Structure 1
Amino acid sequence: MFELTLRPATPADVSVLLDLIMALAEYEKLSHAVTGTVEALKEHLFGANPDIEAIVAEYAGQAAGFALFFHNYSTFLAKPGIYLEDLFVLPQFRRLGIGKAVLSYLAQLAVSRNCGRFEWSVLDWNESAIAFYKRMGASILESTRICRLTEEPLTELASNNSSLKVRPATPEDTPTLFHLLQGKAEFDQKLDTLTGTPEALQRHLFGEPSYIEAILAESEGEVVGFATFFPNYSTFLTRQGLYVDDLFILPSHRRQGLGKAMLGHLAQLAVKRDCGRLEWLVAVWNDQAIAFYKRMGASVLPDWRICRVADDKLTQLAAQLGDNNQNLGEK
């Protein structure tokens, strides 16, 4: 029986990784969407400030697949997570348990790094993949959709200057930021899911390593809104993006342009950092928010769903890999 090996990618793997990315794009009939280069991928994986990580799956000594991932963040949990951007196994190596092994490997990594959850996305028509992920313990978030700003709509939003005050959060803002976060949890009727602490949030905002950033909106000297965000990544573009985890404005200060001002500020940051896209989630029932985001130039992706493994399901998935010869590695 051939042995499956899962290992962290090294700089020597970059050309193989790009070949696998091209194979993934061809499989999805999206070869035209791959605009990245070996040099960019190597810089983002192994440069001075790496954005992403990757693992290589080898079967019988051959590169059989890969996974590319990065840390995301949950403001409510005040914990980092792992987001799987891409997982691909070459067709001739399928039905050998490689996909399951990769998911278990990444779940182990999430547990070892004290992450709150492990997430990825799936197309809603891919019923076999959805069934497989559910068997692995994943929940499919049916009630949310991904919003995306890219290319001209992103630069156009970034070019809209607002007179409203939006600024980066500082450590001194942590109590105010957490109070607003409690307000969002109460407004969303999700106070029971707010399990993080101000101390953990401050550590992850301003400590080392930092996982997330925050901006605040002010009106007449009072902080009345916030947004938290972190870098994400596009494998096909080999470019970083920005992902908005939470955006909230006090109900008493809505319809004053603050939401547009914060999105504009985030779009400016994305353009300044040479990001390929700005993304966030929206609830499917929130017609008002969807209409607002579309006016800002965002596309609402109708067929993508978020998969999530958390709590006991995460530790159970991590345990499925067992104590094999895999080296999880550390950042």
Structure 2
Amino acid sequence: MDTLKIRDIKSPDCAAITKLIRELGNHKGESDDNLTLTPKDLDRLGFADKYGPPVFLGVVAEIKESPDAKSPQIVGVALYHVKYSTWEGEAMHLNTFIVSQKYQRQGIGSKMLCSLAKTAQEKKYLRISLEVIKSNESGLNFFTKHGAINLTKEEGWLNYDLDNAAVKKLLEVVNEDKSVRLRPAEPKDCTRIKEMIQELADFEKMEDGPKLTVKDLQRDGFYKLHPVFYSFVAELDDEETGEVEIIGFSLLFISFHPFLGKRVHLEDIYVTPKYRARRVGGMLFQAIARFVEKDGYNGFSLEVLDWNEKAIQFYDKFGGVNRSIGEKGLQSLRFKHGVIAKLGTENK
């Protein structure tokens, strides 16, 4: 093969990355209306410090096809954003993985994946997640061959999405229970949030439960220059004691989509069973919608287990769309720590 180099993305790469994203979109049959991100948009989201931390990071694969070539050609790109798992903390979510068709089946994808695994090791990420369309057999085979687990197939995780139209509709819902108050979470709330994370894990029958401590939550959501997650809590005054009781929470983080740009992902939403009849979940959901609209995000996504019928009905009610249905449905994949460690030491 001609000289191949895998390196971190740079601002001047944005034009080439945009071209690859369009190539992917056209291959998937996306209309031009859905392929609106420009090189300037990517530069602003990935490199313009004045707008805050980068929404995405990643690597490119470049080839210099001949000694006489003036500059290398970018033939592949892999982008990721930092997600937040209430089980293990910061993790890598691979949102874009493209090798130009002319250069596929030459080991370039493997080299990019190994490079990202090495980064994940260096940053102490214990998981790498991504989604692949079910009909993309070559993509599914590639990632599972390298050790990824298909969580949609093995555990029943479904991908749900609320676009801007659903967000707008959600904001029109009127919640009448004035006794329940919603507010952004504070560091002092993390003890109760951790308790509710464990309650949610027990409900989802996750034997290998959350590993995070109260201090981890406080550090990652409140004490860093740029928080890794955002959270809202629902509270009311206990009828017997008069003390303030936190009865629900949501936890979310900023994500990136190669066609839609900057988005939000809802990692957790939970209401104590005793108070679920008071529409607290709808109030928390509406708070997320306000967060999305206020800061100009392009909708939000979430995941739900296929047996959790009440949650699915709840998301359907508020305009959620199940993106895991049919041959074009999204499959959730994950690389666990042991596989990441192996990939990070390989040099294929």
Q: Please confirm whether the aligned pair reaches a TM-score higher than 0.5, indicating the same fold.
A: yes
Q: How far does the alpha carbon of each residue in 1:200-238 deviate from its partner, in whole angstroms, 9 at most, with x for none?
A: 11111112242111111113331011111100112112x
Aligned to 1:309: 335
Q: Which of the numbers 63, 66, 75 marks the counterpart of 2:74?
A: 63
Number of equivalent positions: 320
Aligned to 2:246: 223
Q: How far does the alpha carbon of each residue in 1:126-174 deviate from its partner, in whole angstroms, 9 at most, with x for none?
A: 2232222111110111201111111211111123353432111101111
- The 8 Å contact of residues 225 and 250 in structure 1, kept in 2 or not, is answered as yes
Q: How far does the alpha carbon of each residue in 1:15-51 deviate from its partner, in whole angstroms, 9 at most, with x for none?
A: 1111111111111111421112222111001112221
1:140 aligns with 2:163: no
* Gap change, CA 1:36 and 1:161, over 3 Å in 2: farther
Distance in 2, Cα, partners of 1:66 & 1:274 = 26
3-state SS of paired residue (1:114): coil
Distance in 2, Cα, partners of 1:126 & 1:23 = 16
Give the percent of matched residue pairs that are identical in Structure 1 and Structure 2: 26
Distance in 2, Cα, partners of 1:21 & 1:169 = 37
Q: How far does the alpha carbon of each residue in 1:52-75 deviate from its partner, in whole angstroms, 9 at most, with x for none?
A: 123211123321111121100111
TM superposition shift of 1:189: 2.4
- The 8 Å contact of residues 71 and 82 in structure 1, kept in 2 or not, is answered as yes
TM superposition shift of 1:191: 4.6
Aligned to 1:233: 256
Aligned to 1:327: none
Structure 1 unpaired stretches of 5+? 323-331
3-state SS of paired residue (1:254): helix
1:196-275 pair list within 5 angstroms: 196-208=212-224, 209-220=226-237, 221-237=244-260, 239-275=261-297
- The 8 Å contact of residues 161 and 264 in structure 1, kept in 2 or not, is answered as no
Aligned to 2:83: 72
3-state SS of paired residue (1:255): helix
- Higher Rg: 2
- Amino acid in the other structure paired with 2:266: V
1:2 aligns with 2:29: no
Distance in 2, Cα, partners of 1:177 & 1:10 = 38
- The 8 Å contact of residues 22 and 31 in structure 1, kept in 2 or not, is answered as no
TM superposition shift of 1:272: 0.6
Aligned to 2:67: none
Distance in 2, Cα, partners of 1:102 & 1:201 = 31
3-state SS of paired residue (2:169): helix
Q: How far does the alpha carbon of each residue in 1:239-276 deviate from its partner, in whole angstroms, 9 at most, with x for none?
A: 31110111111111112101111111001100111011
Distance in 2, Cα, partners of 1:135 & 1:249 = 39
- The 8 Å contact of residues 198 and 209 in structure 2, kept in 1 or not, is answered as no
3-state SS of paired residue (1:30): coil
Aligned to 2:317: 295
Q: Which of the numbers 210, 224, 229 marks the counterpart of 1:194?
A: 210
Cα RMSD of the aligned pairs, angstroms, is 1.5
- Amino acid in the other structure paired with 1:36: L
